[in-house]
Amino acid sequence: MQADISNVKQHILVLGAGELGLAVLRGLAARSAESAGVGVLLRQASVENGSPEKQKEIAAIKSLGVAIEVADIAVASAAELAAVLSRYDTVISCVGFGAGRGTQRKLTQAALASGVKRYIPWQFGVDYDVIGRGSPQDLFDEQLDVRDLLRTQSRTEWLIISTGMFTSFLFDPAFGVVDLPGGRVNAPGSLDTAVTVTTPEDIGNLTAAIVLHSPRFINQVVYTAGDTLTYGELADLLERVTGRTFERRASSVQQLRAALEEMPDDNLRKYRAVFALGQGVAWNVAQTFNGQQAIAVTDAEGWARAHLPRS
């Protein structure tokens, strides 16, 4: 029988300090009394980068009381990474798809080889189990490989935190859903298709709360949501926030798949086609960790009021 380690303070390592990683570090630093210490894994090039912007980031990390570990995830072997990870009890990966294909599998293999007590892979996004293999976004299959690696072993605890998309991405012109200058919402699928979003700041705070929660969450998926709304409701909130009228358009799954076939390597077209399906991309806020714990978060309208101009 496994010993109860719920009340044992953990040494926690965060992999990466991009927008998400830094938010998680801040969330953990705000609850520093509940852990035995926090570290972050960065590339040597990042630490030694002399640019004012990068040095400001490093100073911000150090000001949180976070120890800096150095390794290049892109070139280090799983065994080399395991040697670093083995010094910690809990590892939280905030290294996303931008690190390249195969990285998620390699990091998971490193975590399992390291003997770390618990691993939280970078799965801060949609519900890959529901979406399944062979979706328009082929990168998602590697996320299912990660889940298979974790579920077919019993030595290392794992925890998956599903957050939906970053709230800002929903409004990003590149995603193509919100056309602010044109006063249009281009709904993937239909105006009744729903999407779940959470801000990076909330993900950071909620991840810290979930990781440090007692009793521990073990070998399960935990959901968060800043908001879950349909694209029709998104158009409504844009009208409330901006004081303008927004045209509503929808592109069918078939249309978006056809657009993807024209440019099969276009990641944004892959995402639009996946979100148009409406499966595994939205869940009830009331059933999430923050909903059940009554933790205040930023909803889509709150984000819009803070970031979008009024007419």
User: Does residue 5 lie in a domain region?
Assistant: no
User: Does residue 270 lie in a domain region?
Assistant: no
Q: Is the pTM of this model over 0.85?
A: yes
Which pLDDT score, from 0 to 100, does residue 131 have?
97
Count of CB atoms situated within 10 Å of the CB of 262? 8
Which range marks the domain in which residue 23 is found?
A: 11-165+198-226+280-297
pLDDT tens sequence for the chain (311 residues): 344 455 578 999 999 999 999 999 999 999 999 988 999 999 888 888 878 888 888 999 999 999 999 999 999 999 999 999 999 999 999 998 887 889 999 999 999 999 999 999 999 999 999 999 999 999 999 999 999 999 999 999 999 999 999 999 999 999 999 999 999 999 999 999 999 999 999 999 999 999 999 999 999 999 999 999 999 999 999 999 999 999 999 999 999 999 999 999 999 999 999 999 999 999 999 999 999 999 999 999 999 999 998 86
Q: Which residues are 158's β-sheet partners?
A: 119
- CATH of residue 291's domain is 3.40.50.720
User: Does residue 179 lie in a domain region?
Assistant: no
User: Does residue 158 lie in a domain region?
Assistant: yes
User: Does residue 231 lie in a domain region?
Assistant: no
User: Does residue 91 lie in a domain region?
Assistant: yes
CA 131/CA 251 separation, integer angstroms = 19
User: Does residue 111 lie in a domain region?
Assistant: yes
| Three-class DSSP category at 36 | coil
Cα dist. 297→211, 239, 289 in Å? 18, 22, 11
- Nearest Cα residue to 18 out of 78, 86, 99, 90: 99
User: Does residue 44 lie in a domain region?
Assistant: yes
Q: Structural domain tally of the chain? A: 1
CA 132/CA 134 separation, integer angstroms = 7
Q: What is the largest CA-CA distance in the chain?
A: 63
Token couple for 279: 């499966």
